[in-house]
Amino acid sequence: MKLLSLVKTTAFLLWFTAGMVLVAAGTSMWAVQATFTATRLATEVASTAVRHRKELSATVMRVKAKARLKRMVTMIPLAGLAAGAYFEEQEYQEWLADNPGGSRSEYLCELAAVSSDVIDEVLVGLPAAVQPAPDMLNSMMPTCETN
Whether 132 and 123 have beta carbons less than 8 Å apart is answered as yes
Q: Provide the whole-model pTM.
A: 0.42
Higher pLDDT, 135 or 62: 62
pLDDT value at residue 22 = 92
pLDDT value at residue 140 = 67
Q: What is the pLDDT of residues 4-32, one digit of tens each?
A: 888 899 999 999 999 999 999 999 999 99
Does residue 106 surpass a pLDDT of 90? no
Does residue 42 surpass a pLDDT of 70? yes
Q: What is the pLDDT of residues 54-95, one digit of tens each?
A: 888 778 877 877 777 677 666 777 777 777 788 888 888 988
Distance CA 124, CA 137 (A): 14
Burial class (CB in 10 A: 0-12, 13-18, 19+), 71: exposed
pLDDT value at residue 29 = 93
**For the chain, which residues make up each domain, given as ranges?**
7-75, 85-124+131-142
- Mean pLDDT (the chain, rounded): 81
Does residue 120 surpass a pLDDT of 80? no
Does residue 130 surpass a pLDDT of 80? no
Burial class (CB in 10 A: 0-12, 13-18, 19+), 27: exposed
Does residue 115 surpass a pLDDT of 80? no
Whether 70 and 83 have beta carbons less than 8 Å apart is answered as yes
Higher pLDDT, 93 or 147: 93
pLDDT average, residue stretch 122-141: 70
Q: Alpha carbon of 126 to those of 24, 116, 138: distances in Å?
A: 69, 15, 18
DSSP helix/strand/coil, 127: coil
Q: H-type helices in the chain, by residue range?
A: 2-75, 77-98, 104-124, 134-140
